[in-house]
Amino acid sequence: MTIQPFDPVRYKAGLRLDWDAVAAGWKQWWKTIEQGAQPVSDRLVALAKIQPGHWVLDVATGIGEPAITAAQIVGPTGRVVGIDQAPRMLAIARERAASLGLQHIDFVEMDAEAPEFPAFTYHSILCRWGLMFLPNLAATLRKFRGLLKSEGRLAAAVWGPPTNVPLISVTMNTVRHVLKVPPPPADLPGPFSLADVTVLEQTLSKAGFTDIRSEQLTVTIEWASAEAYTGFQQAIAAPIQAMLVNEPTERQEHVWRAVTDAARKHADSEGILKLRNQAICVTARR
């Protein structure tokens, strides 16, 4: 088997399709996601010291977080822009903002690695679980720094190591085991590529950021059953869908049955799954 060299342009184009394909699933499961994820948005806006009237950029906003949380703080005298490269995710973000009557927020289709804004535009840049997917993080963080006003802050959340994030690893490990796919090299983008937070801290420092701090946050998510956990993963997990897409239907079904069996091991006596996951919030000043 020939191993193709990593091509960032192809990778990002594939990712755009992968995340678009799960946009409806994110909408369907949003309540479940936000049980654990809303506290991360709340922490990021606090770490970024967002105030009424501020201008905020949310990178890789998905269906609108933490952009919408920030928009509620900056109020109508401020402005929030959420960018993502997946147009279907953005369409749902726009629906959510409209349903909340937020008029000072825009969602724009844009590659996070090529942000098209004037220098010194934003008081803060936020990113919840997006930096890990950027192939050229060092250059991108330098660009982000250029977009911040003086004293502006970046606040981002990434996942801790797989053993501390069963939300993803119960599925990921099972799929890899059944399909006999080895773990990806540590330097390639993916959900766990910034699990060693010193890598992100050092990259921020090299990009010129100062006052760099990290803290851990537990993201607890609950499902009524192992089957519900599997349904959730089938609907929202873009990286998993990408691994399965070329497998025959029967093999996919076999993989998902194995995921349900693996998830059941984490259920309590009533069959309920409550998974605690380690997020890492990193903040830095321009």
Ligand X SMILES: C[S@@+](CC[C@H](N)C(=O)[O-])C[C@H]1O[C@@H](n2cnc3c(N)ncnc32)[C@H](O)[C@@H]1O
Binding residues for ligand X, rule: CB under 6 A, are 12, 15, 19, 37, 60-62, 65, 84-86, 89, 111-113, 128-130, 133-134
Closest distance between ligand X and the C-beta of residue 19, in Å?
3
268, 203 Cβ separation under 8 angstroms: no
- Of all residues in the shown chain, the one whose CB is closest to ligand X is 62
Closest distance between ligand X and the C-beta of residue 30, in Å?
9
Q: How far is CA 177 from the centre of its chain?
A: 24
Question: Which residue in the block uniquely carries the two structure tokens 């840049």?
Answer: 125
Distance CA 238, CA 249 (A): 17
For ligand X, the closer of residues 78 and 239 by Cβ is 239
For ligand X, the closer of residues 114 and 186 by Cβ is 114
Closest distance between ligand X and the C-beta of residue 133, in Å?
4
Q: Where are the alpha helices (DSSP H) in 108-237?
A: 137-147, 166-179, 197-206, 226-236
Closest distance between ligand X and the C-beta of residue 71, in Å?
14
Phi-psi region of 180 (alpha: psi -120 to 50; beta: other; left: phi over 0): left
For ligand X, the closer of residues 68 and 175 by Cβ is 68
Report which of 222, 211, 234 is spatially closest to residue 270, judged by C-alpha positions.
222
For ligand X, the closer of residues 78 and 191 by Cβ is 191
Closest distance between ligand X and the C-beta of residue 196, in Å?
19
Distance CA 234, CA 229 (A): 9
For ligand X, the closer of residues 45 and 178 by Cβ is 45
Closest distance between ligand X and the C-beta of residue 194, in Å?
12
For ligand X, the closer of residues 40 and 259 by Cβ is 40
Which one-letter amino acid corresponds to residue 201?
A: E
Distance CA 273, CA 98 (A): 33
Dig out the tokens for 228 from the structure.
């519900």
